[in-house]
């Protein structure tokens, strides 16, 4: 299955010297894997030869980058507990490396190349990487992983003592369940190993419950486990598998559940749950939503009197869809919905939302909800988001924006407000329907992100 290895982006453990960069098999202990003796950035079990043809060009450029970066000012080795200082140190270094590597390759970096720089192991106390420490004159530098999670690193025993307590024993502000960073890391690691064992897929489970609720039940105070654990046991999953399976499924279920959560918050009473047709506009839609189309059926399954769900996916990435803009695509539903004649219809428009609104002219009708998943509107493509947000405000569309992490929330809220949105109080922060599939932040020393992890803002 060599083709898969060439096509798949090497997963997390390959970026931190704990799995072979070619076959992705985790090393049982550190000695089982050998670093590439030239760049020292990737590891292999017995696959170095097989990967050499592909790795060669990057390896040379990487070595060149390392000597260029060694000539620059070296980052401070002072330990600090200030996360923003640490993340800032890491990010500055990452940006320089990416720039230098890009120049030497003479092209934009690929995802794999960005990943090698973004997820390079860094000391949790001082933010330096092995390359940084080597550049500062210690050729034998090696970072040691935390003995429990093995995902965070220390450059010396002194720095381990400095950072270990906070890492292992203080609840992380990004953990909904009050876990420490080390515990969250441990789960991330288990998840990545489970996926490799289950056939090496990067794709989370695409599962949605088959049951159809008899009537709408408020989501207030509900949790992923409370809502789904029993259903999964009914499906026949062994008890030990329920947790990891559900965790994986939340990555996609976060999309429909966030829609339902927002509809409940934005509507008074339950008249909205009894509408015959529900229309949702997804702004800045991407492959993420296309891939998870089936899981949106959970909306029908929680709103039994709705007979038609219109999902309108709008965004430049929709140009990959074969159907012509605006053509209704009737999606396959489950047998039960099919027998009752219930429909899930998808529309695609390969345009920016404000252009879509303009093109509709007087035919534009306000949807029940407009939602932008993980938009990053405050940090990326801000100029094109601004007129989109303005048109939502002008048309008084019930709207919600989600974000990957806390930093994005701040930036997103600033942009939403500057475009005239009056953000509803109380509806921001860690989402109860955040994906539980966490990822380590790239380009930083600490931090996690996940799909729809935060509600950035809700407005009408």
**Residue span binding Zn ion (CB under 5 A) among the ranges 14-22, 323-331, 347-355, 416-424:** 14-22
The answer for 178, left when phi > 0, alpha when psi is -120 to 50, beta otherwise, is: left
**Residue span binding Zn ion (CB under 5 A) among the ranges 99-107, 291-299, 303-311, 412-420:** 291-299
Decide: is 278 part of the binding site for Zn ion (CB under 5 A). no
**Beta-bridge mates of residue 32:** none
> What is the nearest approach in angstroms of Zn ion to the Cβ of residue 2?
11
Distance CA 450, CA 453 (A): 5
Could you give the string, one character per residue 319-338, with x where binding to Zn ion holds by CB under 5 A and - elsewhere?
Answer: --------------xx--x-
Distance CA 266, CA 41 (A): 49
| Residues 6 or more apart in contact with residue 369 via CB below 8 angstroms | 259, 262, 263, 266, 280, 281, 397, 398, 399, 400
Could you give the string, one character per residue 116-135, with x where binding to Zn ion holds by CB under 5 A and - elsewhere?
Answer: -------x-xx---------
> What is the nearest approach in angstroms of Zn ion to the Cβ of residue 348?
21
Decide: is 86 part of the binding site for Zn ion (CB under 5 A). no
Quick one: tokens of 99?
């720039």
Pure H helices in 136-238: 157-169, 181-197, 224-234
Query: Which residues, 90 to 119, sit near Zn ion by CB under 5 A?
Result: none
Query: Which residues, 240 to 259, sit near Zn ion by CB under 5 A?
Result: none
Distance CA 196, CA 27 (A): 13
CA angle 205, 206, 212 (to 5 degrees): 125
> What is the nearest approach in angstroms of Zn ion to the Cβ of residue 21?
8
> What is the nearest approach in angstroms of Zn ion to the Cβ of residue 357?
31
H helix or E strand, kind and range, residue 70: helix 48-70
Nearer to Zn ion, 147 or 291 (CB): 147
Question: How many residues sit in the footprint of Zn ion (CB under 5 A)?
Answer: 22
**Residue span binding Zn ion (CB under 5 A) among the ranges 106-114, 289-297, 319-327, 416-424:** 289-297
Written as one string, the DSSP assignment of 261-275 is HHHHHHSSSSGGGG-
CA distances from 311 to 276, 283, 322 (A): 14, 11, 16
Decide: is 39 part of the binding site for Zn ion (CB under 5 A). yes
CB count within 10 Å of CB 137 equals 9
- Which is nearest to 25 in space by CA: 196, 204, 199, 201? 196
CA distances from 213 to 126, 218, 238, 332, 449 (A): 52, 12, 24, 19, 31
> What is the nearest approach in angstroms of Zn ion to the Cβ of residue 195?
17
Quick one: tokens of 375?
């938009």
> What is the nearest approach in angstroms of Zn ion to the Cβ of residue 219?
19
Nearer to Zn ion, 127 or 377 (CB): 127
Decide: is 144 part of the binding site for Zn ion (CB under 5 A). no
The answer for 290, left when phi > 0, alpha when psi is -120 to 50, beta otherwise, is: alpha
Decide: is 20 part of the binding site for Zn ion (CB under 5 A). yes
Query: Which residues, 42 to 61, sit near Zn ion by CB under 5 A?
Result: 45, 47, 59
> What is the nearest approach in angstroms of Zn ion to the Cβ of residue 374?
26
> What is the nearest approach in angstroms of Zn ion to the Cβ of residue 254?
19
> What is the nearest approach in angstroms of Zn ion to the Cβ of residue 68?
16
> What is the nearest approach in angstroms of Zn ion to the Cβ of residue 81?
13
Quick one: tokens of 304?
């039994």
Distance CA 56, CA 39 (A): 10
Decide: is 309 part of the binding site for Zn ion (CB under 5 A). no
Decide: is 294 part of the binding site for Zn ion (CB under 5 A). no
What does DSSP say about strands 43-44 and 34-35: parallel, antiparallel, or unpaired? Answer: antiparallel
- Judged by CB under 5 A, the residue of 15, 17, 19, 22 near Zn ion is 22
Query: Which residues, 156 to 215, sit near Zn ion by CB under 5 A?
Result: 159, 182
**Residue span binding Zn ion (CB under 5 A) among the ranges 30-38, 98-106, 219-227, 390-398:** 30-38
Nearer to Zn ion, 59 or 285 (CB): 59
When computed from its CA atoms, the radius of gyration of the chain, rounded to whole angstroms, is 24
> What is the nearest approach in angstroms of Zn ion to the Cβ of residue 37?
8
Nearer to Zn ion, 59 or 188 (CB): 59
Decide: is 36 part of the binding site for Zn ion (CB under 5 A). yes
Judged by DSSP in three states, 117 sits in helix
Q: Rule CB under 5 A: which residues touch Zn ion?
A: 20, 22-23, 36, 38-39, 45, 47, 59, 123, 125-126, 146, 148-149, 155, 159, 182, 297, 333-334, 337
């Amino acid at each position: 299955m060599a083709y898969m290895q060439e096509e798949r982006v090497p997963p997390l453990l390959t970026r931190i010297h704990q799995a072979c960069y070619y076959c992705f098999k985790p090393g049982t202990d550190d000695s089982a894997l050998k670093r590439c003796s030239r760049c020292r950035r990737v590891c292999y079990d017995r696959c170095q030869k097989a990967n050499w043809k592909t790795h060669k060009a990057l390896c040379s450029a990487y070595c060149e980058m390392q000597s260029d970066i060694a000539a620059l000012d070296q980052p401070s080795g002072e330990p600090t507990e200030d996360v923003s200082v640490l993340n800032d140190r890491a990010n500055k270094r990452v940006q320089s490396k990416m720039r230098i590597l890009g120049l030497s390759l003479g092209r934009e970096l690929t995802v794999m190349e960005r990943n090698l720089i973004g997820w390079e192991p860094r000391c949790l106390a001082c933010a330096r990487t092995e390359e940084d420490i080597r550049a500062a004159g210690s050729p034998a530098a090696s970072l040691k992983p935390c003995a429990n999670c093995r995902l965070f690193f220390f450059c010396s025993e002194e720095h381990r003592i400095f950072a270990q307590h906070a890492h292992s024993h203080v609840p992380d502000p990004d953990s909904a369940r009050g876990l420490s960073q080390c515990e969250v890391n441990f789960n991330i690691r288990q998840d990545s190993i489970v996926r490799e064992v289950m056939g090496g897929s990067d794709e989370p489970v695409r599962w949605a419950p088959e049951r159809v609720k008899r009537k709408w039940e408020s989501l207030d105070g509900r949790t992923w486990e409370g809502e789904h654990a029993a259903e999964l046991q009914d499906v026949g999953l062994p008890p030990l598998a329920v947790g990891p399976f559900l965790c994986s499924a939340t990555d996609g279920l976060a999309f429909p559940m966030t829609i339902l959560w927002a509809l409940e918050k934005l509507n008074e009473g339950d008249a909205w749950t009894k509408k015959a047709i529900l229309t949702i506009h997804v702004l800045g839609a991407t492959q993420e939503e296309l891939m998870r189309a089936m899981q949106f059926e959970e909306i029908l399954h929680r709103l039994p009197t709705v007979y038609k769900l219109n999902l309108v996916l709008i965004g430049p990435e929709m140009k990959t869809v074969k159907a012509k803009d605006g053509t209704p695509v009737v999606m396959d539903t489950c047998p039960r919905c099919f027998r009752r004649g219930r429909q899930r219809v998808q529309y695609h428009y390969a345009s920016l939302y404000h252009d879509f609104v303009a093109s509709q002219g007087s035919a534009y009708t306000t949807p029940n909800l407009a939602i932008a998943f993980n938009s990053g509107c405050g940090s990326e493509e801000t100029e094109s988001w601004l007129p989109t947000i303005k048109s939502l405000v002008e048309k008084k569309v019930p709207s919600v924006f989600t974000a990957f992490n806390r930093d994005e929330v701040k930036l997103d809220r600033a942009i939403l407000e500057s475009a005239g949105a009056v953000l509803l109080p109380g509806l921001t922060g860690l989402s109860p329907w955040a994906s539980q599939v966490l990822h380590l932040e790239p380009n930083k020393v600490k931090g996690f992100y996940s799909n729809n992890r935060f509600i950035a803002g809700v407005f009408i």
